[in-house]
Amino acid sequence: MIRPLANAMTAAALILCCAHSTTFAEGDGSPLHDKMEQMGKALHAVTKQLGDSSKKETTLALIAKLRTNAAAARELTPTKVKTIPEKNRAEFMADYKAAMDDLISQIDRLAIAVKENKPEAQQAALKEIGETKQDSHVTYRSKQKEHSTESSPGEKRNGEHSSKEREDD
C-alpha cells in the first residue's frame, strides 16, 4: 500500500521538476539570467554611491563584481538564440560577445575613473554602460522582456534600472 503512494509522490515530484525546466528554458532562472540579475544589483549599488568618495573601496569592489558577472555572462547563451535561424546563430553569438566586450571595456573605464577620483569620467562611463545595456537588451533579450522593462524611464538614465530590475534588488 505504501509503495503505490511513494510512486505517486515520485511522479508528482518529476512533474514539478519538469514544470520548473519549462520556466528555465524561457529565461528566468537560466544561468545567463542569474548573472544579469547580479550585474543589475551591482550596477544599482554603484550608481547610488558613485559620487561618495568615502565609499571608494566598496564602489571598486562592486565594480569588480559587475565585471566578474559580465565576463561570465559573455560565455553564456541568450535564451533568444532559439528564435534565430540556424544559419544566423554564429553571427548572433559573435555580435553578442562583442557587445559584452564593449560593456567590459566600459566597466574598466569606470573603475579607472573611480581610482583616479574623476567624477566627470565616472559619469561618462556610467552613461556608456547604461546605453550598452539598453541597446543590447533590445537586440539580445527576448521580445517579451524588452517590452516589459525597456519602456521604464528609469532604465533610460545612466544605466539605472528598470522597475523590474529594482524589484529584484
Q: Which is nearer to ligand HEM, 30 or 121 (CB)?
A: 30
Residue 101's contacts (CB-CB under 8 Å, 6 or more residues apart) are 74
Q: Looking at beta carbons only, is 37 or 84 nearer to ligand HEM?
A: 37
Q: How far apart are CA 153 and CA 146, in angstroms?
A: 13
Binding mask 52-91 for ligand HEM (x = CB under 6 A): --------------------------xxx-----------
Rounded CA separation 16/111 (Å): 44
Residue with C-alpha cell 561570465? 72
Q: Where do we find the cell 547604461?
A: 130
**103 is a site residue for ligand HEM (CB under 6 A):** yes
CA atoms within a 13 Å half-sphere pointing along the CA-CB vector of 74? 16
Exposure string for 145-159, b = 16+ CB within 10 A, e = fewer: bbeebeebeebeebb
Query: Minimal distance in Å, beta carbon 143 to ligand HEM?
Result: 11
Smallest distance, ligand HEM to C-beta of residue 67, A: 10
Residues 107-166 that bind ligand HEM (CB under 6 A): 129, 132-133, 136-137, 140-141, 145, 149, 164-165
* Residue ranges in contact with ligand HEM by CB under 6 A: 27, 30, 32-33, 36-37, 39-40, 43, 78-80, 96, 99-100, 103, 129, 132-133, 136-137, 140-141, 145, 149, 164-165
